[in-house]
């Protein structure tokens, strides 16, 4: 099963990288861009687990390793069953 996990900074945490990207987009004339938040994407291929097990293990992996819960949040989706 293929899973995609998105990790990004919490709204309460300043994202200077996202701000820099936003400023660059403004310089290019994309003034419609109000805000940019930068994050990380992980694509994980799992085997031997059913859907219920995946739903249990993915948040665990994200919380323990992929994201630092003090500054980051995560979301995830199943790409291929």
> Where along the sequence are the contacts to another protein (CB under 8 A)?
9, 12-14, 16-17, 20, 65-66, 68, 70-71
- CA 24, 27, 30, 36 dihedral sign is positive
Q: Given the complex with another protein, which of 20 and 51 has the nearer CB atom?
A: 20
Q: Minimum distance from CB of 4 to another protein (Å)?
A: 16
H helical segments located in 1-81: 16-27, 51-61
Torsion angles phi and psi, residue 73, rounded to 5: -125, 165
Q: Minimum distance from CB of 71 to another protein (Å)?
A: 5
Q: Given the complex with another protein, which of 16 and 48 has the nearer CB atom?
A: 16
From CA 71, how far away is CA 75, in angstroms rounded?
A: 14
Q: Given the complex with another protein, which of 68 and 75 has the nearer CB atom?
A: 68
């Amino acid at each position: 099963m293929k899973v995609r996990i998105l990790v990004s900074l919490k709204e309460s945490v300043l994202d200077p990288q996202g701000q820099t990207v936003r400023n660059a987009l403004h310089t290019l004339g994309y003034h419609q861009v109000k805000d940019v938040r930068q994050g990380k994407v992980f694509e994980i291929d799992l085997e031997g687990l059913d859907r219920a097990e995946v739903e249990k293990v993915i948040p665990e992996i994200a919380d323990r390793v992929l994201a630092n819960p003090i500054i980051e949040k995560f979301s995830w989706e199943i790409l291929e069953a």
